[in-house]
């Protein structure tokens, strides 16, 4: 089991089962939502996710039609996103315990075309 929390610790959660590799996404929405050059996401079946505390601290922003980014209203930590087109799947922001950050768990998604010869 993996556990995670937001920066202010109001939102706490557990994830059961094995995790897929971390997806590193640097699309413009993820960069802005994360405040950095990329976001780290892990798709998790909703049935494996347990919100331990902080349900009243969660708020969401629909960043594109049908896609909601859920974050802590107190500290702003991104918690997960979900898409109407993918019911039952949460894309957890990889803020969880250090156990998640093992070598080989990373998968880079690139939407940037490299210049020729560059």
Is 22 one of the binding residues for Zn ion (CB under 5 A)? no
- CA distances to 4, 30, 107 from 113, in Å: 34, 17, 17
Helix (H) or strand (E) holding 107: strand 106-109
Is 19 one of the binding residues for Zn ion (CB under 5 A)? no
Near Zn ion by CB under 5 A, which window of 16-24, 70-78, 79-87, 92-100? 70-78
Is 79 one of the binding residues for Zn ion (CB under 5 A)? no
Residue 100, helix vs strand vs coil: helix
Instruction: Report d(CA 40, CA 92) in Å as an integer.
Output: 8
CB of 89 vs Zn ion, minimal distance in Å: 15
- Pick between residue 6 and residue 42 the one whose CB is nearest to Zn ion: 6
CB of 117 vs Zn ion, minimal distance in Å: 27
Is 8 one of the binding residues for Zn ion (CB under 5 A)? yes
Among 6, 15, 79, 92, contact with Zn ion (rule: CB under 5 A) = 6
- Residue by residue, what is the 3-state secondary structure of 42-98? EEEEHHHEEEEECHHHEEEEEEECCEEEEEECCCCCEEEEEECCCCCEEEEECCECH
Q: Which residues bind Zn ion (CB under 5 A)?
A: 6, 8, 10, 25, 27, 30, 72, 74-75
């Amino acid at each position: 089991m993996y556990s995670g929390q937001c920066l202010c610790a109001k939102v706490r959660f557990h994830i059961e089962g094995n995790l897929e590799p971390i997806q590193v996404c640097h699309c413009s929405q993820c960069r802005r939502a994360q405040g950095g050059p990329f976001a780290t996401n892990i798709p998790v079946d909703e049935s494996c996710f347990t919100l331990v505390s902080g349900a009243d601290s969660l708020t969401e922003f629909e960043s594109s039609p049908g896609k909601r980014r859920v974050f802590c209203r107190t500290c702003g930590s991104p918690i997960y996103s979900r898409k109407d087109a993918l019911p039952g799947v949460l894309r957890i922001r990889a803020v969880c315990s250090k156990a998640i950050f093992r070598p080989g768990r990373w998968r880079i998604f690139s939407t940037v075309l490299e210049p020729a010869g560059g």
